[in-house]
Structure 1
Amino acid sequence: MGFGGNGTGTAVATRTPPATAKVTRTTLTATKTVDGTLGYGDTLTVTGKSQGTITWLPGEGSTITRGHGVYSVDADRRPLLYGTMPLYRTLEDGVEGRDVELLERNLDKLGYTGFDVDKEFTWTTREAVEDWQEDLGLDVTGKVQPGDVAVADGQIASPIVSSSLFTLL
């Protein structure tokens, strides 16, 4: 037997009228006032460590997660890394410290492999950084400058900002 058919295998279309309801126009008769503040939570200051013009900002109210752009300077995206300390020096071959571990932990969480997550920036870390830079469409240097990324302790909500261009000095 056909689906909804007459036994011949041929479907029969049936129309069901749409549900309707009578609309009544009236005046609002009750209100309630409550105390409160609307906002996006705690303020977060993002410090840029490079010079240039901010050419892109995320949309209002969007949530920025690890590896995604916080803003762009001169058309280069500055991705978010999770951590508790900002990058304060160039990370490159031979550098050691907690900032290297922060970078490597983020690269690992973003799916880059071939290095140990530790405090040493080795040639294997450089190769992962080069792959990451290539994937971001940046100049492939194998080094990470303090102004190349933004660091926060977790995801951040984009504030309401103007889309006009700002200059970092």
Structure 2
Amino acid sequence: MKRGAVLLAAALTACGGAPAPDTARQAPASTARVEQGALFSTVSLNGTLTRRARSDGSPYTAINQARGIYTRLPEVGAKVDCGDVLYRVDDNPVRLLCGTVPAYRDLNTGDRGKDVRQLNRNLRVRGNVFTVKTKAALKRLQRGKGRLDLDDAVFLPSPIRITKLSGKLGAPARPGAPVAQATSDTLEVQVELEPSQQRQVKRGDSARITLPDNTSVDGTVDRLGRVARTPEGADHATIPASIRLDEPEQARGLDEAPVRVEVTTTGVKDALSVPVTALVGRSGGGFAVEVVRDRRRRELVAVQLGLFDTASGRVEVEGALKAGDEVVVPSL
């Protein structure tokens, strides 16, 4: 059941649960104002504050292409930037270069393509052609070597933070074998969307994230997974989603921490609203609110319902109401 429906059920229960007659009542126990302004609908989620990786939450994998013996490997937790040495085979450096196209061929003067474009981007050279400028920049990076052999580099989408090592120092390095797993060093929140939430949450939605110390930070829905999966212990499939922190430094020092997320999915800029608890059922069907007129006279006013603001507990209404009217709500 949606949260708005739960609030509505609670309101009707609080008001006695039975339809109310369209006549004046006795003096109300308490009242609340009809307000005009913005309303928002939110989806509440449990999430995990972690490091950005693939859209499904899985880590990046560094695939080795060199032959020889691993003579240097990074430590778990180490950060490796674009252009830095990731590891060494036979004491020859294998560098991390940033890009989404995996290394699949040797690159030399005259070659062109997407892989050349991303190499040039790492070297701060324009274009998708391996030119003399590419060669000169590679010589500076590799201390004299003006081409990029297949086993010289590993391409991953961003600077990384090592999470797991597959290669072992002193062990043979085999082409095509994973050497390490990694994430980026950027914090994000990962959540799982239930089937009922998958049409509501979309990329670009604003989010409010409550950290373990009860402080809150703002975020934005950044990536939505395309493949449903069934988490361990669950009985139904969910879709993974990632939320980017607007100011990641506000959560610095936290990793793999549980958080609470409120995603704002829809909104109206200017609407009349009443507390959900002010709603009563009409004898002929539909809903109404009891309005206090001239501080004494009371009447039921039929209303049509719009957006439920689940965070504030209010609902958009249309009817013979105006901002500032007083409506009856149950006594606390």
TM over 0.5: yes
1:54 aligns with 2:70: yes
Q: TM-score, normalised by structure 2?
A: 0.34
- Alignment check: 8 A CA contact 1:87 1:145 kept: no
| 1:70-99 Cα distance to aligned partner (Å, 9 max, x none) | 211111221111100112111111111111
Percentage of matched positions with identical amino acids: 29
- 132 and 154 in structure 1: CA distance in 2 versus 1, 3 angstrom threshold: same
Q: TM-score, normalised by structure 1?
A: 0.63
In the alignment of these two chains, the number of paired residues is 121
**Structure-2 separation of matches of 1:59 and 1:129:** 26
Q: Residue 145 of structure 1 aligns with which residue?
A: 149
Q: Residue 132 of structure 1 aligns with which residue?
A: 141
User: Following TM superposition, by how much is the alpha carbon of 1:51 offset from its aligned partner in structure 2, in angstroms?
Assistant: 0.7
Q: Residue 113 of structure 2 aligns with which residue?
A: 97
The amino acid across from 2:134 in the alignment is T
User: Following TM superposition, by how much is the alpha carbon of 1:63 offset from its aligned partner in structure 2, in angstroms?
Assistant: 1.5
- 160 and 97 in structure 1: CA distance in 2 versus 1, 3 angstrom threshold: closer
**Structure-2 separation of matches of 1:128 and 1:160:** 31
- Which of 140, 144, 160 is the aligned partner of 1:156? 160
- 164 and 133 in structure 1: CA distance in 2 versus 1, 3 angstrom threshold: closer
| 1:47-80 Cα distance to aligned partner (Å, 9 max, x none) | 1112111111112211111111221111122111
- Which of 25, 38, 45 is the aligned partner of 2:61? 45
Q: Residue 166 of structure 1 aligns with which residue?
A: 171
- 125 and 160 in structure 1: CA distance in 2 versus 1, 3 angstrom threshold: closer
| 1:92-117 Cα distance to aligned partner (Å, 9 max, x none) | 11111111111110011xxxxxxx41
Structure 2: tracts of 5 or more residues without a match: 1-47, 175-332
Q: Residue 85 of structure 2 aligns with which residue?
A: 69
Rg (Cα) greater in structure: 2
User: Following TM superposition, by how much is the alpha carbon of 1:123 offset from its aligned partner in structure 2, in angstroms?
Assistant: 1.6
**Structure-2 separation of matches of 1:123 and 1:102:** 16
The amino acid across from 1:152 in the alignment is L
| 1:16-74 Cα distance to aligned partner (Å, 9 max, x none) | xxxxxxxxxxxxxxxxxxxxx9x977433211112111111112211111111221111
- Alignment check: 8 A CA contact 1:91 1:143 kept: yes
Name the one with the larger strand percent. 2
User: Following TM superposition, by how much is the alpha carbon of 1:141 offset from its aligned partner in structure 2, in angstroms?
Assistant: 3.0
User: Following TM superposition, by how much is the alpha carbon of 1:160 offset from its aligned partner in structure 2, in angstroms?
Assistant: 4.3
What is the SS of the residue equivalent to 1:46?
strand
- Alignment check: 8 A CA contact 2:73 2:88 kept: yes
**Structure-1 separation of matches of 2:169 and 2:150:** 24
Structure 1: tracts of 5 or more residues without a match: 1-36, 109-115, 135-139
1:121 aligns with 2:130: yes
User: Following TM superposition, by how much is the alpha carbon of 1:163 offset from its aligned partner in structure 2, in angstroms?
Assistant: 5.5
